């Protein structure tokens, strides 16, 4: 069984990155403290089940990025970490504004999904950098996978893990994003 990454370091890193990124790109602050809960991973066919509609009880955009110890691990599908980013549908256009994109009369769902994926990529990249600053080895990231409201096949994860972190964030006086993350044992540099 793989030892899980230090949960407190993972939560603190994620919360700090979300706070900094939303403050910098959208000029907003948390309207209430983030809520972090440890949950059991539900596994099916060696994939982590993800239930997006339960996050907001309605439509949601989802992006997933996996962390790997190396490029060969990425190519072999041996994830050491999983980062799942959920955005409430009616908040997704606010994320687009951070990239200078404005939706016209006809909402472009592909554009929303692409930009939510890019936002997920920014967050996961910042988490990777913060972990490296804390002395952990430099991780390799997958490209973001993008979905709306369901991920029937589940997502890749370190199959030896049993727990994940589920963190909810409120901006604009509403819960509008959530993150599920899990991380296997990431070695320290030089170990």
Residue-wise pLDDT tens digits, 117-176 = 998 999 999 999 999 999 999 999 999 999 999 999 999 999 999 999 999 999 888 898
Q: By C-alpha distance, which of 70, 36, 55 is closest to 182?
A: 36
Structural domains in the chain, CATH included, are: 7-183 (3.40.1550.10)
pLDDT band at 103; cut points 50, 70, 90: low
Contacts of 109 (CB under 8 A, 6+ apart): 148
pLDDT band at 28; cut points 50, 70, 90: confident
The structure's pTM equals 0.92
pLDDT band at 100; cut points 50, 70, 90: low
Residue ranges of alpha helices (H) inside the chain are 7-26, 53-56, 71-76, 92-98, 109-133
Q: What is the mean pLDDT of residues 107-114?
A: 79
Find where tokens 């980062």 sit. Answer: 83
What's the pLDDT score for residue 105?
38
The full DSSP string for 101-123 is ----SS--HHHHHHHHHHHHHHH
């Amino acid at each position: 069984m793989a030892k899980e990454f230090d949960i407190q370091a993972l939560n603190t890193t994620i919360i700090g990155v979300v706070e900094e990124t939303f403050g910098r790109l959208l000029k907003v602050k948390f309207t209430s403290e983030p809520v972090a809960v440890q949950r059991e991973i539900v596994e099916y066919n060696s994939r982590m089940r993800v239930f997006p509609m339960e996050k907001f009880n309605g439509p949601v955009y989802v992006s997933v990025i996996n962390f790997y110890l190396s490029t060969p691990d990425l190519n072999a599908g041996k994830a050491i970490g999983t980062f799942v980013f959920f955005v409430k549908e009616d908040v997704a256009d606010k994320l687009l504004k951070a990239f200078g994109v404005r939706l016209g009369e006809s909402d472009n769902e592909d554009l929303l999904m692409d930009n939510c994926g890019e936002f997920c990529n920014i967050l996961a990249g910042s988490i990777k950098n913060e972990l490296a600053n804390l002395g952990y080895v430099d991780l390799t990231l997958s490209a973001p996978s993008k979905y709306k409201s369901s991920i029937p096949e589940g997502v890749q994860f370190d199959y030896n893990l049993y727990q994940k972190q589920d963190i909810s964030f409120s901006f604009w006086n509403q819960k509008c994003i959530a993150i599920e993350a899990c991380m296997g044992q990431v070695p320290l540099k030089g170990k």
